[in-house]
A and B are shown apart, each in its own frame.
Chain A
């Protein structure tokens, strides 16, 4: 009960933050969608970092470390420390510059200009939004599993069917409601502020949970001694090719629509400098406690007994919740619960704003004309579309759940495999409209075929040619893009001058 009270207080604070940010809301779509491009370095970093760290980073990483060992950190987190900053530097900085110069608010506006094609937006929109849905699902499933784990036995009369735990659907419903309310009040500025606050909360709470759990297990060394030694190595858990091909997945940050929008909120290009250095270090601070908790969970016993803390049949999604629920006090459980929800909501909010922005800018304004609706009406249309996507995602959470980590990997793989398109947009003059169309279609077909072959994510260990499926999808996109571009008509001089101005 105490945990629930603390989490409710935290959620009320977030709504309060939304009310405050509303006072700064200038009313127009430029403020709702890109905060009038006024965000400074610290909030930009916290906002981008909070957005990239979701249930995948806390609930997913703990569960994956429990399942396949500590190599989880190397395969996705340390590679992200190098690749994410590389993408911020090579792609984010250039996108910010192009966005500021040409007034873009979405990726599709950029691609329409670069590829001289109105139709490319209608092809990309369903793909980008479609890939956001599993990303949102990752957050909601992670929240449901975690809260279920920490509240197990707390409400035996009310929720008898879940062993007294708050059911996942109720957690999903509440956090969707909270995020929607503060987003609707202040748009992307509200999301940026909430992300900053929530990123601080989840980093502190992660370290707090780590310290307390290790203490309950007899200290760092005792906890590691109890763990399954087979999970301390890569052999037997992940192959060399699989480990290598995981390096493609962090490229997804170059194609995330919500990160594109986060980049555009920056006041100037210097703000990216802080992000480049702080991002890798923050990844380590966030992931290491979760990886070690998952590793310790492989052999941890309840203090003074021979009973495993995590039952053998437990879902990997529930490992963090079980460890926190069984090894900490209710107050700490509540605080850590707030931290996990913070990590999840700090991604959901940016994703919500992003899908709303794409719908109004790329579909409504583009299809009906910019003057068909007033600025205020555009903001309301965005809110309506966001609500529709949230309802669809919520309904998906009621179906058979997948591993948070696996679902996240499929979502990130889709975005990562489209990376060659954004890279060519910025750096390759010869890329053509036909090349971009062919690459998008080839990638979408390849993604769907491989996702289907994995049992729609049910097989969490699915590999293609011994590698992560992202490697094949990335190759399909890059090869199609290059070959088709080279045999089709080059872009006009006017477009090239716009994107590659001669000084």
Chain B
């Protein structure tokens, strides 16, 4: 399995884990002040940032760089 597949698999898994139904009745406070679901979603955001870091490292598209400069292209679309 390629690194690219693993990275995108990780992001899909995150999308599934967003639905934290197992915490929906948990009113406990993490560190004495953060409601459990809020603490979970803060961790989720950090995990998402790590996922995007991996995308940049292992799955950044090739071929976008070195596109023709727009200065030499026509301005505007269909007329």
Contacts and interface: CB of A to CB of B under 8 A. Distances in A.
A235 B24 contact: yes
B24 A276 contact: no
Contacts of B23: 233-234
A104 B51 CA distance: 31
A297 B55 CA distance: 39
Contact of A73 (B41, B55, B69, B76): B41
A295 B31 CA distance: 16
A101 interface: yes
Contacts of B44: 74, 78, 81-82
B36 to A, nearest CB: 8
A232 B27 contact: yes
A400 B31 CA distance: 42
B49 A280 contact: yes
Nearest to B59: A89
A223 interface: yes
Contact of A273 (B18, B33, B56): B56
A402 interface: no
B38 A104 contact: no
Nearest to A85: B52
B58 to A, nearest CB: 13
B interface, how many residues as a size bin?
Answer: 35 or more
B64 A103 contact: no
Given A89-B55, A220-B33, A244-B19, A81 B74 contact: no
Interface string B67-79: 1111001111111
Given A86-B11, A93-B64, A102 B37 contact: no
Contacts of B31: 220
Contacts of A268: 65
Given A101-B73, A273-B60, A74 B37 contact: yes
A104 B60 contact: no
A101 B67 contact: yes
Contacts, number: 159
Nearest to B40: A74
Nearest to A237: B24
Given A93-B61, A224-B32, A233 B14 contact: no
Q: Is chain A's interface secondary structure helix, strand, loop, or mixed overall? A: helix
Contact of A281 (B33, B34, B49, B55): B49
Interface string A94-132: 000101111111001110110011100000000000000
B37 A233 contact: yes
Given A233-B26, A280-B45, A283-B45, A270 B65 contact: yes
B64 A82 contact: no
Nearest to A100: B70
B72 to A, nearest CB: 9
Contact of A240 (B21, B36, B63): B21
A70 B74 contact: no
Contacts of A221: 29, 32-33
A348 interface: no
B53 interface: yes
Contact of B79 (A78, A270, A283, A370): A370
Given A112-B78, A269-B67, A361-B76, 16 more contacts: A70-B35, A70-B38, A71-B37, A74-B37, A78-B18, A81-B49, A82-B18, A93-B64, A100-B73, A112-B77, A118-B78, A224-B29, A224-B34, A233-B25, A269-B64, A292-B38
15 contacts: A81-B48, A102-B74, A103-B70, A113-B78, A117-B78, A224-B33, A232-B38, A234-B24, A240-B24, A270-B65, A276-B52, A280-B45, A280-B46, A284-B46, A370-B79
Interface of B: 11, 14-15, 18-21, 23-27, 29, 31-38, 40-42, 44-46, 48-49, 51-53, 55-56, 60-61, 63-65, 67-70, 73-79
